[in-house]
Copies of this chain bind each other. A is one copy, B any other.
Amino acid sequence: MPRSRQRRAPLTHPEAADIELLDVLHALSDPSRMTIVRILRAEPERACGTFPVDVAASTLSHHFKVLREAGLIHQREEANRRLTALRADELQVRFPGLLDAILAAAEPTEPAES
């Protein structure tokens, strides 16, 4: 048996009540992960490979794990894809206004009215 124990991850997500603020802040302090979350805010669900983040697949996978364990995203299996969604509603209950404020702050720097 070719040591078959991989991708065995049952895709665990923390309970909404167990989401830690510092984990959320840390997760969002990385450019790639912030990009992922910003994209997810606009779209309901999206496959891993479809994010315009220019890193290796394994690195991307790592970022999803960090985001998932921080409680920011939810992932579900669909065929051989993994669909990712933002846990916006739960986050809103846990930390009211937090995600909105952070994502608003992440806008490209307002052009300042002419």
Contact = CB atoms under 8 A, between A and B. Distances in A.
A97 B105 CA distance: 9
Contacts of A104: 95-98
Contacts of A97: 97, 100-101, 104
Interface string A21-54: 1110110111100100000000000000000000
A106 B20 CA distance: 9
A102 B25 CA distance: 9
Contact of A29 (B22, B95, B96): B22
Interface centre among A94, A100, A105 (most CB of B within 10 A): A105
A98 B107 CA distance: 13
Contacts of A96: 101, 104-105
B25 A29 contact: yes
5 contacts: A25-B102, A26-B29, A97-B100, A98-B104, A101-B101
A100 to B, nearest CB: 7
Nearest to A96: B104
B21 A106 contact: yes
